[in-house]
Structure 1
Amino acid sequence: MDASFVPKSGTKTDGVGQFWNGSQSRSEQGLELSSLAVMSWAGRHIFPVSVVQTQPRLDRADRLKQYRDQLQSLLAQRHSWLVRHLKAVVADGQYARVMFMNVVDGEGYAFVTKIQNNA
């Protein structure tokens, strides 16, 4: 699970807002896409299964709720398929929050992430 930044100027595109651009190490105007993928360790493949545009909001907590809702939706939609194949959820350090850990732990999966130094 990770988010991707797409630079975008203008005001007509729905969802344009200030998002973190990791390649520039700063917040910039553009779009953000939150993506979930399934990794195959044996075949070393990644299969994208959910991509959702993040809606700009005033506070970071609301964006984290959007990411959490996307994860919960995927787990609910594909639960029977995931039970056989999913072993852990791997996510960027920004997802290392109690709300994510509770969702993943509640479903019985391991949560692999890098804890931020201010956590």
Structure 2
Amino acid sequence: MHTDAFQTLADPTRRQIVEALRSGEQQVNDVVGKLDIHQSGVSRHLRILLEAGFVQVRPDGPRRFYSLRPEPFQELETWLSSYRGLWEKRLDRFDEALQKRRNARAAHAKERKR
């Protein structure tokens, strides 16, 4: 997992392009129409995504179709999943602490009613 993946996806325009391509293969002008970004900007960001391995291009005569490649996203998922357990344990402990606090408050309120 390279930090370059995070640098690549840190740009909001590139994230918007990735979101636009989630629905499938598209030409540059299709992405331009969805994002209301000038064609040269979309092309520049697509080139960066292509160089980083997030997208692939399929030429079809004069047209070029862009689509997402699953591999870099799978690498991101693998990397993130290594931290998921850490956060789940912390969230479980937080939930337990909240439950204890709620139970203590409920017991205290019950005592006050007596």
| TM-score, normalised by the number of residues in structure 2 | 0.28
Structure with max Cα Rg: 2
More helix by share: 2
Structure number with the bigger relative contact order (C-alpha 8 A, sep ≥ 6) is: 2
